[in-house]
Chain A
């Protein structure tokens, strides 16, 4: 009797354990069991916009001003601080946010960008001095409206491509020349109020894998107010780290 009770106890315990372990997934269609495949897909949660970019920059329209750009010293650095993402689908993401752009353009020759009767123009030094350096600095806050596509490649890598529009809000701008003085010295002269548009936009494109990408931008409209400056629009290509 004791043995029977003991066996019943063990059997009950075993049944309880097996009952837990036996729960397996199963699908029946019209009463027939089928094998099935499953996968969990998550909508993308993070974009590849925030981070740091460095691009060599150029200016369209400079040839009309008979001015050349020092390409190796003309660049922009972007620091994209905040993004807000809206997952649209399992591979698509809408991105907006806030970043900053520091652009600088160095010019060849003895001309600098300065205001002349309310219009910004490339002009030589009023005292006929030569310039060691002539540059234009333009700083923007950037607000993107971007669509991004992401796809897993292999087990760990994620390919991405994003593009769209970045709004530009001009925060600061100045033109600066370094004129050689008669005493072999250098005089720095800055010119502000250059009639740069307070708000503008550019088209951007970024692609890469995981935290590294290639970045490019193109500004379709001039950075200066119409009729108050040269028709110059910026473009650039570089790298991005996220």
Chain B
């Protein structure tokens, strides 16, 4: 939660006291509501710019990708680790679990069913986390612009740092997208995690608007 909202809270009240801003997880069965956390994501402030610059350099040179093939664009991720393109020379590697990854690659069209998994995986990633959306479908629906089951704009549901156009983009284009992401990280502009924390209610409202049977915890980390 942002600074202004934090000031509204009485100073004497500890963090764990439940108030109206506590998440309820009301979509879950009552015995499961306590299994998940009820705290909102919090904005993380950076303090020491010199240290932050160094950390951003380290983050940019050690991008770990969450290898989650959401659509057909995921096919273009596999050549990246082969000898021809070899992202490991840039310090990147595929990571099988969202806990350890820092880049979420949305590979192509996002159906409603996938969106649920995307939201959960994104929330399970540890910050700072970045999102690269590959393919036209993730940008504006692409060839699925009139489909009944495809999300048209992924940036209304999770914050996106870099878009890569194409149907499907060549691995060179994806690499160019990753280079742009690196540049943004080193300039300190890739703050998707803080954006998600600041506009948490807006993102949640958007997600719940299209996911009709919301049966997940409200914030899953």
Q: Do A and B come from one complex?
A: no
